[in-house]
Amino acid sequence: MKNQVQLITYVDRLAGTLEGLRGLLAPQGTSPLAGAFGGVHLLPFFYPIDGADAGFDPIDHTQVDPRLGGWPELRALTGELDVMADVIVNHVSADSPQFQDFAEKGEASRYAGLFLTMEAVFPNGATEQQLLKIYRPRPGLPFTCATLKNGERKILWTTFTSKQLDIDVQHPEGRAYLDGILERFAENGIRMIRLDAAGYAIKKAGESCFMMPESFDFVADFTRRAQALGIEVLVEIHAYYRRQIEIAAQVDWVYDFALPPLVLHAFEFGTADPLRHWIRVRPNNALTVLDTHDGIGIIDIGADAADREGSPGLVPPAELDALVERIHANSGGQSRQATGAAASNLDLYQVNCTFFDALGGDERRYLLARALQFFLPGVPQVYYVGLLAGRNDMALLQRTGVGRDINRQYFDAGQLDDAVQTPVVQRLLELIRWRNGHPAFGGRFELLPGQGATLALRWTHADQWAELTVDMATLANQRRWTDTSGQVQTDSF
């Protein structure tokens, strides 16, 4: 993966089609976004893109949704840019041909072993204690009772929704299903994948069924299978921050999901101490993010849910609760309407809000947050709504009732052009191109001495360097760097 800023986007919500996206991003193009990104993560482009979970419940994980184009258009894009795609390892749609075959034939189906049932994990039945130990990011137990077309009754494992049927990744059919996706991706030039919901992929009676030792083993094994095809692996897991550190040692890349709430905390409480501590211990093989297609993670900086007293979070519980309330206040209460029980498809560990609105639409703090993101070790990734300093889409939220849609806006060509011309987006694009081109970011990183509100970061490579200093309380800041002639340049946000 190039050490340059990456874009993460839905194809249809930013550009309509794969061909349109290529026109926006191709390095030799004339678009204002041309050449701005070292790569692009395409959020689910599989058939269909508009299922129960915005493409994360594929009917056919190996087919491009024809409304976006096809594999030839995808290959054209991979010929211009590094492309990342999702492998949804935990589940498949109830409308998939595999499940339809299983529903028709029951245990006689060749796909019978693909779908995980409660009985497969609890062959002798489950006790109340065992069921209560299962971790699920949403209320209730992860099971759906289903009557197959042949009359058989099954209790299917459904971690997320009743339409997303969990895969038995340890069964030969489950393994073959996932390997088929890897092979299709490799054939079409995809060289990076994100493992979606990997922390839930392994189930074990009497355990939490989330981020167990066996889960790490599965991720390590799947990573080896992908690497054998020339594909790098990014693991997507929202969990206690020490789990990220542990899993980073086993894969190519992890997300720095602790960064967004820690940056918000630093601004809201006027202290850089928790953020500074995280910078000291965080894994450097990370994609740094401030926003994604999901909400702003809270679990990532909180105490370990399984051991709150012995495993404290990066910020105290009272401050974490206060931070959530401040995000709601900054957004004028809009994020509250999209979070938790206020919206369907709810996640108990995230606040649904654009990052720009989480900062109250403050352009200065927003640009400082991006500068901090770009200065941390790792590869920065910018979400398409964040790139355009997008605001909460209350109309889309009202139309769908899905909380995360508040941050999944559809941009038409006119809206895109208007957004790109705003001063905050122009300054952000300037910062992205600077981060991509400055040689210092290929060198050595230093967290400079500091305490309280002041945070100072520096990169050095040979005689080139770049430095950022921010007072999180007053917003006083300075960016200093050497230019191509060796002269020192200085500015601020």
Share of the chain above pLDDT 70, in %: 98
State the residue for tokens 């997303």. 164
Q: Domain ends where: 126, 143, 165?
A: 165
Q: Return the percentage of the chain with pLDDT > 90, whole number.
A: 85
DSSP per-residue codes, 381-431: EEEHHHHTTPPP-HHHHHHH-BGGGGG-----HHHHHHHHTSHHHHHHHHH
Domain count across the chain: 3
Closest CA to 289 of 202, 223, 187, 369: 369
Model pLDDT for residues 172-208, shown as the tens digit of each residue? 999 999 999 999 999 999 999 999 888 899 999 999 9
Does 133 fall in a domain? yes
| Angstrom distance (rounded) from CA 299 to CA 261 | 10
Q: Would you mind telling me the total number of residues written for the chain in this entry? A: 493
Q: Which residues of the chain have pLDDT under 50?
A: 344-346
DSSP, collapsed to helix, strand or coil, labels residue 403 as: helix
Cα–Cα distance for residue pair 93/97, rounded to 1 Å: 9
Going by C-alpha positions, the residue among 212, 275, 216, 285 that lies closest to residue 248 is 285
218, 198 contact by CB (below 8 A) = yes
- What per-residue confidence (pLDDT) applies to 54? 86
Q: What is the pLDDT of residues 410-460, one digit of tens each?
A: 999 999 999 999 999 999 999 999 999 999 999 999 999 988 999 999 999
In this structure, the answer to whether residues 125 and 81 fall within a common structural domain is no
The reply to whether 300 and 328 lie within a common domain is yes
Closest CA to 238 of 355, 350, 150: 350
Residue 14 to residue 493: CA distance in whole angstroms: 27
Alpha carbon distance 407, 354 (integer Å)? 5
Give the residue carrying structure tokens 């990734």.
381
Check whether residue 261 and residue 387 sit in a common domain.
yes
Phi, psi at 93, each rounded to 5°:
-70, 145
pTM: 0.94
Q: Which two tokens stand for residue 436?
A: 């991509």
Amino acid identity for residue 448 in this structure: L
Clarify whether residues 21 and 149 are in a common domain: no
Task: Give the pLDDT confidence score for residue 346 in this predicted structure.
Answer: 44
Q: Which of 150, 165, 180 is the last residue of a domain?
A: 165
Neighbours of 221 (CB within 10 A): 14
Residue type, 78: T
The torsion region of residue 97 among left (phi > 0), alpha (psi -120 to 50) and beta comes to: alpha
Token pair listed for 213:
């030792």
Query: Do 365 and 267 contact (CB within 8 A), yes or no?
Result: yes
- Burial class (CB within 10 angstroms; exposed 0-12, middle 13-18, buried 19+) of 172: exposed
1 in a domain, yes or no? no
Q: Using CA atoms, how far apart are residues 4 and 93, in angstroms rounded to an integer?
A: 34
Active site residues: 196, 236
Distance set, CA 177 to CA 60, 106, 230, 254 (Å)? 11, 18, 19, 24
Backbone angles phi, psi at 231, to 5 degrees: -115, 130
My answer on whether 133 and 258 are in the same domain is no
Range of the domain at 119: 97-165
* Same domain membership, residue 312 and residue 243: yes
Same domain, 328 and 469: no
For residue 13, the model assigns a pLDDT of: 97
**Alpha carbons 410 and 265: distance in angstroms, whole number:** 29
HSE of 308 in the Cβ direction (CA atoms, 13 Å)? 5
Q: Look up the CATH number of the domain holding residue 132.
A: 3.90.400.10
Token duo for residue 345: 């498809």
Are residues 344 and 228 part of one domain? yes
Does 76 share its domain with 107?
no
286 and 344 both lie in a single domain: yes
The DSSP 8-state label assigned to residue 115 in this structure reads B
Look at residue 142 and give its three-state secondary structure: coil
Q: Looking at this protein, which amino acid is placed at residue 189?
A: G
Q: So what's the pLDDT on residue 462?
A: 95
> Which tokens hold the place of 91?
């589940």
pLDDT for 29: 84
What is the C-alpha to C-alpha distance for residues 74 and 80, in angstroms, rounded to an integer?
10
Q: What letters, b where the CB count within 10 A reaches 16 and e where it falls short, cover 36-74?
A: bbbbbbbbbbbbbbebbbbbbbbbbbbebbeebbebebb
Are 39 and 2 within 8 A, CB to CB? yes
Query: Residue 135 domain-assigned?
Result: yes
Query: Do residue 134 and residue 264 come from a single domain?
Result: no
Which of 144, 165, 186 is the last residue before a domain boundary? 165
pLDDT at 309: 65
Three-state DSSP state, 38 = coil
Q: Which letter does DSSP use for residue 210 in this model?
A: S
CA angle (218, 256, 323) in 5-degree steps: 125
> What pLDDT score does 271 carry?
97
Let me know whether 250 and 146 are in one domain: no
Name every residue whose Cβ is closer than 8 Å to that of residue 225 and which is 6 or more positions away in sequence. 179, 182
| 26 occurs within a structural domain | yes
Residue 476: CB atoms within 10 Å: 12
What local confidence, expressed as pLDDT, does residue 243 receive?
A: 84
Task: Identify the burial level of 151 via C-beta atoms within 10 angstroms of its C-beta, where 0-12 means exposed, 13-18 middle and 19 or more buried.
Answer: exposed
Rounded CA Rg of the chain: 22
SS3 277: helix
Among residues 201, 205, 232, 231, the alpha carbon closest in space to that of 217 is found at: 201
Say which CATH number the domain at 10 has.
Answer: 3.20.20.80
